[in-house]
Structure 1
Amino acid sequence: MNWTMAEVSEMYSKSEHTLRYYDNIKLIPGVIRDDRGVRLFTDDAVGWMRYIISFRSTGMPIKDVRKYIELTETGNDTLPTRIEMLKNQAEKVDQQIAQLQSQREIILDKLHKYQSGEWKD
């Protein structure tokens, strides 16, 4: 099945501008054009979008996303490198989560002080 840009945009809550940019820089495998030149996303492209969006939303640079995709397309010999890339990204996400939890505690502490009448700004 092929999906339109509008459908993929809605599916992943990403702007058509972002999708167009990713396609223009050849980041998304499986995007094709119809006979009028309109972009269509194959099932493969839609599947890749899931990973691209996840990688980007966790701070992975586009060059690393591209490298991961290229390694995947190269074949199973690159599996150790891909595993290492994913482990590194997961560690970065864990660090982000820890930082956010720390910030959340600060906010909740302040909220508690306000609600209990103990605040002093």
Structure 2
Amino acid sequence: MSAERVCTTAELQENKAFRVVLDGTAIVVVKDSSGAVHAIGDTCTHGDISLAEGFVEDETIECWAHGSQFSLSTGKPLNLPAYEPVPVFDVVVDDSGVVYIDPANSTLAS
């Protein structure tokens, strides 16, 4: 599988989660306050809750249900009750601002 076009950077609102489903994988895409684009798994590892419905601040996304925060860069949980990381997907932004993600290529922090 290769990277798929998801959106453009102009379509992403700063610090707002954007949910996409690629090949059956739910992914949250976020443009942080520095303009960097991140893509992480959409499901909180503490409960089966969509992170896209959560709150984005700086380089974190917070699950609205129980307050666990995850790093947008590493997927690591930063506080309890979650203790397992969410997957992080490689993001490529081309010169015209188109965002591409490969849903088959993710990493999981240890």
Q: What TM-score do the two structures reach when normalised by structure 1? A: 0.27
Select the structure that is richer in strand.
2
Select the structure that is richer in helix.
1
Larger of the two Rg values belongs to structure: 1
- Structure showing greater relative contact order (alpha-carbon pairs closer than 8 Å, 6 or more residues apart): 2
